[in-house]
Amino acid sequence: MRVHLGSDHAGLELKDHLKTWLGENGYEPVDHGPFVYDALDDYPVFCLRAAEAVATERADGADSLGVVIGGSGNGEQMAANKVAGIRSALVWSEETAVLGREHNDANVISVGGRMHTVEEMTRFVEVFLATPFTGDERHVRRIGQLADYETSRELPPLPESAIGHGPQS
């Protein structure tokens, strides 16, 4: 499986570690940068490229996932989620890595290089890569609603139980 990596300066050390770890564990890492430390770099430059590569390969039927890394992982997740077809989960535990895959079919995860040890984050990535999507109907339906909105910009219909309540009335 190909794994696309992108980060900012705060995630550079972890990205480089993951690139080696992935190769040693049978994955094909693709590094979208950065390649040198620059405290003023802009994470969208690298994270958007990693996410675009995942979206393109998955659209072509390839089995690929992505990992984006920053100080907190928040901005990197936001950048990845701007790419059509990407569902990026912010992961801070093994459980969030599992749930991101099982329930949301996340195809990119974002981790915070300043939030955890290298060992912890490597484990989060390992769990994410090893966990399959359950394919449960409710999860498929919800992901479908997101995908439809992504292309049409039309909100999904309200359930009967919500009609007449709240700001939509």
pLDDT digits (tens, 9 = 90+) for 18-73: 999 999 999 999 999 999 999 999 999 999 999 999 999 999 999 999 999 999 99
Say whether pTM exceeds 0.85.
Answer: yes
The Cα–Cα gap between 97 and 86 comes to 16
112 in a structural domain: yes
Q: b/e string for 51-81 if b means 16 or more Cβ within 10 A? A: bbbbbebbeeeeebbbbbbbbbbebbbbbbb
CATH number of the domain that 97 lies in?
Answer: 3.40.1400.10
Q: Is 103 a catalytic residue?
A: yes
Q: Which residues contact 54 (CB under 8 A, 6 or more apart)?
A: 4, 64, 65, 66, 83, 86, 107, 108
The Cα–Cα gap between 42 and 63 comes to 28
Number of structural domains found in the chain: 1
Beta bridge mates, 69: 7, 111
Q: Which of 124, 16, 6, 11 is nearest to 71 (CA)?
A: 11
168 in a structural domain: no
Domain ranges, residue 108: 2-159
130 in a structural domain: yes
pLDDT digits (tens, 9 = 90+) for 80-116: 999 999 999 999 999 999 999 999 999 999 999 999 9
Residue of 94, 102, 103, 139 marked active site:
103
Residue of 52, 57, 76, 116 marked active site:
76
107 in a structural domain: yes
